[in-house]
Amino acid sequence: MGKAPGGRKRVAIVQSNYIPWKGYFDMIAACDEFILLDDVQYTRRDWRNRNRLKTPHGVQWITIAVEVKGKYHQRIRDVVVSEPDWAVNHWRLLAQNYSKAPHFRDVAAEAQRWYESAVGLTRLTEINEHFIRAVCGALGIATTITRSSDYKLDEGKTERLLSLCVQTGAAAYLSGPAARDYLDVAQFEASGISVEWMNYDGYREYPQLFPPFEHGVTVLDLLFNAGPAAPRFMKHVEVHG
């Protein structure tokens, strides 16, 4: 897919996730501006505060415990962490399970610094953005990352996304495939903005610990196992060397 041709600006708008999978970063790399949609409702048992890693005993969740006030109305940006030692515990868990990965030693020092510098962060949105930016740096992704709170939001699922695209001057909106069920494409087209769909099919497998292979795990799994070759197993991240 690559960046939008002819100087046309492509924008993606996605809720922040904790140490997301490689497809999340491919979407970032495929657009010119990536907006973290943190003004919407926090959803439980989702990817906002957790992700998955490989262990000798199978795929395991790694979760940041958070305080959720109320059942339906708390925004992602307002969610606060409830476990003071989460960063220390998460790094210990990652080191235990990935110490034998081919490139763990190459990546570990930098990744450990990401966790050490996250210790003082108390809001989930800040933690997620911290890791997203750190991983983008490690992968050489230079896409502009902003927050939905930097803009004025309209009400309605389609209207909210469309208003963000209009404010950013986007000519194309890159959406995840799940939005096909609710996105009103006609509204975008009426505003002169084309809608494009992210395709997560066809990823190559890389040498991964603890078979069988699993694509749906944190991007840290890819970095620890593939090291500098990580972009070769992605679709939109530029390969150097």
Percent of the chain whose predicted confidence (pLDDT) is above 90: 86
Using DSSP's 3-state secondary structure scheme, residue 197 falls into: strand
Helix pair 124-139, 219-226: axis angle to 10 deg:
30
pLDDT of residue 73: 73
CA distance 116 to 183: 39
Instruction: Indicate if the pLDDT at residue 217 is higher than 70.
Output: yes
pLDDT of residue 194: 97
Average pLDDT on 9-37 reads: 98
How confident is residue 168, by pLDDT bands cut at 50, 70 and 90?
very high
Instruction: Indicate if the pLDDT at residue 239 is higher than 70.
Output: yes
Average pLDDT on 117-144 reads: 97
Paired residues of 226 in beta bridges: none
- The 10 Å Cβ neighbour count of residue 135 is 24
Instruction: Tell me what the pLDDT averaged over the chain comes to.
Output: 94
- CA geometry: angle 219, 129, 221, nearest 5 deg: 10
CA distance 76 to 40: 6
Q: Which residues of 188-204 are buried (b: 16+ CB within 10 A; e: fewer)?
A: beeeebebeebebeeee
pLDDT of residue 35: 98
Q: Which of 23-27, 40-44, 154-158, 234-238 has the highest mean pLDDT?
A: 23-27
pLDDT tens per residue, range 196-208: 999 999 999 999 9
How confident is residue 8, by pLDDT bands cut at 50, 70 and 90?
confident
Of the candidates 237, 175, 219, the residue with the CA atom closest to the CA atom of residue 13: 175
Length of the chain: 241
Helix pair 124-139, 104-117: axis angle to 10 deg:
150
pLDDT of residue 68: 80
